[in-house]
Structure 1
């Protein structure tokens, strides 16, 4: 059996710099991993199976199964696997859970089936599953540009984060098609971005559409510099110590799902893979 993490990511900043004729958006964002997320285990089997099923997601539509079948098709592999998912990340939370699961499936099955597909090739395959999948395969904190497909390795600080889920699911497509989404942030270099205050161009719109996000973010800002990640709904605060982040989590409004994690410029997936 192979057991591998599928870590969450945070968008430390997110700027929308334009919109293309095909509807896709140009952006600039800084991805960093955290040492918390889902987990997948893989065992050799005659057929390809996944358990448990996710509520509201047909097995054929699950990105893990799609990733497995894509890898089979790409390599001609006919072997099967029994895949088990331990799901910890909320769906539609902006933490990249589905994309991370898909990336870990590609990486894990590549190892289980001894296919030896290079990481760059796996990342290109992953792009067929979602724009964020390649950064999870690549496994390094990265400054992403274009439509999120041009990566430059980055090394931001690795603080402690408190990540909170407001309990709503935000549809990414709805945010990117909303006419009120800002689309005119200037294109700057990574050095320029790092030297300026960070923000998320989607945050104001999501707060307007989802008051729960606005309310929880307002609360967290009382304790630490805080922003929304991706297109939401999850938010995160930055802390100097684990203790400070955990103490703030204890004060969170009743019923709020949250976790404390360390920022990682090398993905826990790569670290676990190196240890196999």
Structure 2
């Protein structure tokens, strides 16, 4: 089932970020292979959220993009998923989950408009909140939408472990986020070639992000590796969270039993309970 709600008014930066992702996810709609697999979902979520924590649950996914995480949740056995996507790609979510439409509702809205009458067991937001300049209202709305004892799971870019990466890519992003699509796509081919050389070197050298490059990046097909790079360089806004900032994002907005996991030494997985 698909419905459409107007996204709440946002600052210009927020609208630009939504538009960036709408353009990105209507160009890159395929989630095949390891990129959309249950194995990658487990890699993202464990040890804080196991597949057993998803099975049979009612779930809301904030920032669904192309429906990749929605389908992962369904593959993990979620009873029903409410997919929230404010950009033009909400239609892509509906198309990519059409074969399981009875277990999915797609709503065109941002996370602040998450339905408050569902008593969700679980709310997830994977790779989204670090692109929101002020995510606190989304986190507060998510807490209100959960049943008592319900859980939120978020995944964020991390600051710790990314010093060299940020020194190189933050200045580059100042340019790439303004690039036309075709030029950025070409650049991603070049950067993927360099990244694969780095991945090969990391097999024998203790390089930063070695674990991620070996266990995740090299398992992706070439088009998905380039998409991962594009996803880093395209959005108008991105924040890299310290562990304290990641924890505070949930604790300051009413969540308890907040736990963090430094995934592959470069990003933060965080859970909290209502």
**TM-score bucket of the superposed structures, by smaller chain:** under 0.3
Name whichever structure is richer in strand by fraction: 1
More relative contact order, 1 or 2 (CA 8 Å, 6+ apart): 1
Name whichever structure is richer in helix by fraction: 2
Scaled by the length of structure 2, the TM-score of the pair is 0.28
